[in-house]
Structure 1
Amino acid sequence: MDNLNIIPGQSIGDIKLGMTKTQAENAIKSHADLFAKIEYDSNDKIHFIEIGYGEADRYRCLYRDIDLFNTKVTELVEILDQVSPYDRNDSELGYTYNFPEMGLSLWRPVILTEEDLQQDWFKELSPDLQEDEMKHLYFEAVAVYKPGEYY
């Protein structure tokens, strides 16, 4: 499994903030399905890059040797918060953790905690559904953007 380096405020792999649409298209050719979302500014330069969890099967998505898709939300947020504080006033906090000073955003579709795993509603689920639900202990999307610009 290859590593894909995530550099907050700069890049995901070879795709860098500030690249032109043409540069990005050339860089993406070999990974056309890799990126969940790339947004361009009015000058056709990249200002937002997002990758989804599906790539965790092909790549270890790393920030400072931390696997962003295979480290539990609670642990990862604590580590990153020591590097740069997350926005504690975000209206989607719990689903989304934005680190605006470093230009990093992490997202998951459902808030699930370790405590939830002990609740009756969880224990009553079939083993397959429990396994599926436990994916929500981890993030499903990672995005980078220019520090200070908030998306």
Structure 2
Amino acid sequence: MYTITINPLVGIGSIQLGMTEMQVQQELQNAPWINNEELLQTFEYDSNNRLKFIEMNNPFDSAGFKLLYKDLDLFNTTAEDIVSTIRIHTSFVNNMEAELGYTFFFREIGLSLWRANVMTDAIINSPEFLAEVLPENLEDEKRNLYFATIAVTIPSYYD
């Protein structure tokens, strides 16, 4: 099992906020992650060419991969559980996307969580949902229980 540690306001694994684009590329070449270009593909830099935003994609079907924030596995823990655990220590920006359950931004720690569709255990196990969803689409729908991307930003990113 491969584990990457996420440190809000710092970075994801060896990719650190404040690095230059060249430093990021060097780190990516040395990263032992399989398909790292698919996992880490969104980087944004400031006017001084310093990294200010890193986004990591959930590999979903990659068994044996963890992205840890403290003791919380961000890709293998449901979105509901992640938000309820993190919000004990810090608040998120309460906007329309957060209210709907798509995007959560924890400004104090520069952590952003996103998923394309909202799914809960209650919905996925409801007779109404199970009657409507095609069996071949059920696994794809279950992915929406989890966040699709996790991002780390500098404190002022969303200002």
Q: Count matched residues.
A: 150
2:60 counterpart of 1:52: no
C-alpha distance in 2 between matches for 1:140 and 1:65: 19
* Unpaired runs of at least 5, structure 1: none
Residue aligning to 1:137: 145
Match of 2:40, as an amino acid?
F
Tell me the amino acid that sits aligned with residue 113 of structure 1. T
Task: State the 1:103 CA deviation.
Answer: 0.4
Residues 11 and 69 (structure 1), Cα distance of their counterparts in 2 relative to 1, 3 Å cut: same
Which residue matches 1:74?
80
Identity rate, percent: 37
Q: Cα deviations across residues 2-35 of structure 1 (Å, max 9, x unaligned)? A: 1100111110010000001111111111345131
The one-letter code matched in structure 1 to 2:24 is: A
Distance of 1:22 and 1:113 partners within structure 2: 41
1:53/1:30 Cα in 2 relative to 1: closer, same or farther (>3 Å)? same
2:43 aligns with: 38
**Aligned pair 1:103/2:110, yes or no?**
yes
Between 92-101 and 117-126, report the one with greater CA deviation: 117-126
Residues 101 and 148 of structure 1 are in contact (CA less than 8 Å); yes or no, is this contact kept in structure 2? no
Pairwise CA distance, 1:123? 2.9
Residues 17-59 of structure 1: CA deviation (Å, up to 9, x unaligned): 0001111111111345131201100000000000001277263
Q: After TM superposition, where is structure 1 displaced by more than 4 Å over at least 4 residues in a row? A: none
1:33-87 CA distance string (max 9 Å, x none): 1312011000000000000012772631010021101101111100010121111
Give the counterpart letter for 2:49 in structure 1. Answer: D
Q: CA RMSD in A?
A: 1.8
Specify every segment of 5 or more residues in structure 2 that has no aligned partner in the other structure, as ranges: none
User: How far is 1:148 from its partner?
Assistant: 4.1
Q: What TM-score, normalized by structure 2, do the two folds share?
A: 0.86
